[in-house]
Amino acid sequence: MALIPRAFGNSVFDPFFGSSIFDPFENLSASLFDRAFPSFDKDVNAVANTRVDWVETPEAHVFKADLPGMKKDEIKIQVADDGVLSISGERSKEKVDEEDNYRRSERSFGKFFRQFKLPANAKAQEISAKVENGVLTVTVPKTEESKKKSEIRTVEITG
């Protein structure tokens, strides 16, 4: 029998009968907000963690989004008449076996939605998209006028 009482399970250091160290955060796996709104965290993560890169090349505007584990039929791409590109989708929650005891659940699920205002030089009617290895690539070609190299001239400063 241990000489030091065990408060908080095995987290009090017992030099004779155990080697665990007191960890005041051991039972705080989630913040109070997360406990009050358990589904909010996952839903917000699904939206907030949909990272998108927008790269402008001489020929096109290229959008790349990390969407690991998603299939092309779970993703929706739309372009409005006003030139707004919308990328949305939903990652479904996996079925959980009641006998499983999750130690940690960090993968996000839920809906995501991102919008981008395309510039005037975008050919919205010629957009193409593909999904490969969990990365969505949306390519928006540019108009021919914008592909031309602009001439740079030096302006003389007077005074």
> pLDDT: is 22 or 74 the higher one?
74
Which of 81, 32, 64, 59 has its CA nearest to residue 130?
64
pLDDT at 76 over 90: yes
At residue 140, the pLDDT reads 97
At residue 130, the pLDDT reads 96
What are the percentages of helix, strand and coil residues in the chain, rounded to 5?
15, 30, 55
pLDDT band at 77 (very low <50, low <70, confident <90, very high): very high
Which of 14, 33, 13 has its CA nearest to residue 23?
13
The domains located in the chain, with CATH, are 56-93+107-142 (2.60.40.790)
Q: Yes or no: say if 64 and 137 are a contact pair by the CB < 8 Å rule.
A: yes
pLDDT band at 27 (very low <50, low <70, confident <90, very high): low
pLDDT band at 122 (very low <50, low <70, confident <90, very high): very high
At residue 16, the pLDDT reads 52
pLDDT at 132 over 80: yes
Q: Is 86 helix (H, G, I), strand (E, B) or coil?
A: strand
At residue 93, the pLDDT reads 77
pLDDT band at 39 (very low <50, low <70, confident <90, very high): low
> pLDDT: is 158 or 128 the higher one?
128
> pLDDT: is 152 or 114 the higher one?
114
Q: Yes or no: say if 54 and 116 are a contact pair by the CB < 8 Å rule.
A: yes
Q: What pLDDT, in 10s, does the model give residues 106-119?
A: 777 788 999 999 99
